[in-house]
Amino acid sequence: MRKIGFLGLGVMGLHMALNVDRKMDVEVVGFDVNEEQMRKYQEAGGTAAASVEELYSTCDVILQMLPTHAIIRHSVEEAIRLGQPGTVIVDLSSAAPDIILDLYRKAKEAGMYLLDSPVSGGNPMAEAGTLSIMTGGDRDAFDAVEPVLACMGTAVYTGGPGSGDTTKLVNNMIGGAILVAIAEGYAFAAKAGIDLQTTFEATRGGFAGGPLYDNKVPKVLNRDFEPGARIAVHRKDILNAKHYAHKMDVDLPLTDVVLRVMDWMNDNGYINEDQAALVRYYEDKMQVTVGKGQA
């Protein structure tokens, strides 16, 4: 491994790139179309690529953390066009599995590797380097880049191409259902007039409790909607799950409910708030305020 490139220095990508740069004993360069993010990366000690073309053509490992399917597809296709055989492209974004499968075939035809390697954990875990990383693709390519992935968190090999993104969809479908259930339950408790902190203390050790419950319920009660994990990012995975379910000709009735709540958040201007803000939907429907502090 001679040179690593990181494309996409957004809120999470910036921290992920810096963790790779600090922990790997090889040259690492970063690139983003946003000049402000490039400046932040350089000020934190990162080395900027002169152009995205330089990153594609000179790096034998290309990591990308990108926002949309169109940008993901364009980036991988440009990496294939400009890169060398043997290059490993690692898509850390969340993408629909069928799109990754199409790009995987193109990479293989060019003698390259594409790993679908989405992450979970949000901004705090990106900064701490403790993300959960789910990686599908060729096992030999995963083994080669696992030390790089370890700079950002714990990587688990999930199987063949597309399996990493499918695993991420499962993770976020279940997580979304739990988050909506928390919002509904605490709006119900507020409407019933019982003490919410007592409700939390009484239930956190029971069947409903767990890390997600302990993380999000206090944010709901304090009306702390500053994003640690934005609804907009989660909604993208819910849409990807719906897209792939349509390809497989299956229904996702619980995921449909999650999407309806998230669509309401989008329509009402709350889409970039933390997932704890999903309680706003139920506040509107039940005509109640949940928790205290500033909204």
Angle at 223 between CA 67 and CA 175, to 5 degrees: 45
Structure-derived torsion over alpha carbons of residues 229, 231, 234, 236, reported in degrees to the nearest 10: -130
Of the candidates 92, 85, 80, 84, the one whose C-alpha atom is nearest the C-alpha of residue 20 is 92
CA gap 295, 3 in Å, rounded: 45
Residues serving a catalytic function are 168
Residues contacting 272, CB < 8 A, separation 6+: 227, 230, 231, 232
CA distances for 181 relative to 122, 175, 237, 278, angstroms: 20, 10, 18, 10
